[in-house]
Amino acid sequence: MSSPLALITGAASGIGLAAARRMAGEGWRLLLCDIDAAGLERAAAELGAEAVPLDISDVPAVREAAARLLERHGSVEAVVVCAGISGHGLPFEKVDEAAFDAMLGTHLKGHFFLLQAFAPAMAAAGGGAMVLVSSLFALRGSPNMPHYTAAKGALLGLGRALAVELGPRNIRVNVVAPGLIRTPMTEKSAGYDKDFFTRRETVIPLRRLATPEDVAASIAFLASPAAASLTGQCLSPSGGEAFT
């Protein structure tokens, strides 16, 4: 029996790469997607995975890539949605249409149609798992990033809707909503000075930021048979910050 196959978006760095490493270590075969072609090639070479260069916000490209992969592989056992962009440091009044469209296109629209493309084959193969990476901010809000918060909130809602609709087809859909994670993307975000992460730790009950590896553990669990009875759930690896 061959190892299960998972597709992961945003797999060149950060949470997506950590999830890929964790799942590879647990025996998954991987299809890795990212807009960062160089980073993607490095990740694929490291993990012995298939690299799929992809701009998730380009819906025609998403559909073409999905069709190509389905023709080659038949189906996948899991789809993990990690790709995203940062929206920190932009107050409500400063969000223009271009910024709004980029945020919703990357986090929500492209992933919506990616999941739509894979669902029929997954159901025909007997089921599988979808894991959507949202954010702590979808649970409690945050200032100066309303379009990011809206997009991540929409992912949370999408996950719960799909859990109900796809459950009868044995497709489990769950959401991971991490708190602030120190990744290359967040380190470059506007408004995060060099001491920001240290200050943030003081308000987290566990007094530390979760790591990409912490989030990857939640993703791998939800994708695995160990979570066979879980769907429509939201795990928040945030050091307890989701509950304060």
Residues identified as active-site: 148
Asked whether the beta carbons of 128 and 171 are under 8 A apart, the reply is: yes
Distances (CA, A) of 187 to 173, 181, 184, 191: 30, 9, 5, 10
Asked whether the beta carbons of 43 and 11 are under 8 A apart, the reply is: yes
Asked whether the beta carbons of 20 and 49 are under 8 A apart, the reply is: yes
Burial track 114-151 (b if 16+ CB lie within 10 A, e otherwise) = bbebbbebbbeeebbbbbbbbbbbbbbebebbbbbbbb
Asked whether the beta carbons of 82 and 133 are under 8 A apart, the reply is: yes
Question: What is the token pair recorded at 54?
Answer: 């992809």
